[in-house]
Copies of this chain bind each other. A is one copy, B any other.
Amino acid sequence: MTERIKGILSPVLTPFKTDYSPDAERLVSHCRWLLANDVSLAVFGTNSEANSLSENERVDLLERLVEAGIDPRRLVPGTGCCSLPETVRLTSRAVKLGCAGVLMLPPFYYKGVTDEGLYRSFAETIERVGDKRLRIYLYHIPPVAQVGISLSLIDRLLRAYPETIAGMKDSSGDWSNTKAVLDQFSKAGFDVFVGSETFLLANMRNGGKGAISATANVNPGNIAALYREWTSSAADAMQARLDSVRNIFGKYPMIAAMKRAVAHWKKDEDWSRVRPPLVEIASRESTRLIEELKAAGFDMPGIEDVSVRQMDQKEGVQA
């Protein structure tokens, strides 16, 4: 069996053109910068505005990424939709393209559904995809999806499909839940990723495998560094620095704020656009966000590809 993915993944921000269509070129460029920073690609996560994309748009973007040379072994696309046929189609496409795994939301429209119903959803998806290469990371994000993944559901799925059910992303924001999952399942080969780098060190110290975190879009290098060096004596100080950056973004609507930061540091205003029902952050808030980030010493080294080349050329001329 091939080795499973681990480390830091980013729910990659999805750039949009003026007509709100997904901008595949800018997406590829952002993915390359993340990979260069040792961060893998959980495209089509919550912070990717993936739930504002159609099934066809997701399939198209995934194919464009692989065609552009992005290594599918670094890709864990989100494929969980409200409807079984859409989840099956997206998941099948991801497996056939060679993706490391898929991040799967439970069907999230109907509330108060039973574990039996959720079990049937996941089981039916696995049976229909019918591919031994499939690796599913269950996506637990009750603050948004409202429908969550209980410990007993994990237990039942893991018993029925021990090879396929590879792990989870816990975005509950509740460490006691993450700890319970780790204690009960990590030794059975169930890989736990926390949904925020806030819990990265705690997760690693308790048998977890990494983080799939929004702010890995903007602070990838430093988060990946803590993953690599979590056993070092500097780890707690590194964690504290990550937290201070995260806390700044956390004061604003997260997706719009991260896109604002990319637009600023990449000097590319098109990056700030979000698709309805989200809205960009207001001008005054934008200014404050950037000031706060600068005051905290925040930077996005290397993201401004074009300018970096221009600088090199200037230096060449001066030399």
Contacts and interface: CB of A to CB of B under 8 A. Distances in A.
- From A46, A83, A111, A278, residue with most partner B Cβ within 10 Å: A83
Contacts of A84: 20, 52, 275-276
Contact of A118 (B116, B145, B275, B277): B277
A244 interface: no
A117 B256 CA distance: 12
A276 B83 contact: no
Contacts of A275: 84
Ordered nearest first, which 6 A-B pairs have the shortest CB separation? A51-B109, A117-B277, A120-B276, A121-B276, A54-B85, A113-B277
A23 interface: no
Given A20-B124, A55-B55, A124-B20, A276 B107 contact: yes
A279 interface: yes
Given A108-B109, A111-B144, A124 B83 contact: no
How many copies make up the complex?
2
Contacts of A306: none
Contact of A52 (B110, B118, B145): B110
A54 B107 CA distance: 12
Contact of A56 (B53, B85, B145): B85
Interface string A56-82: 110000000000000000000000011
Interface string A142-163: 0111110000000000000000
B52 A107 contact: yes
A168 to B, nearest CB: 17
A114 interface: yes
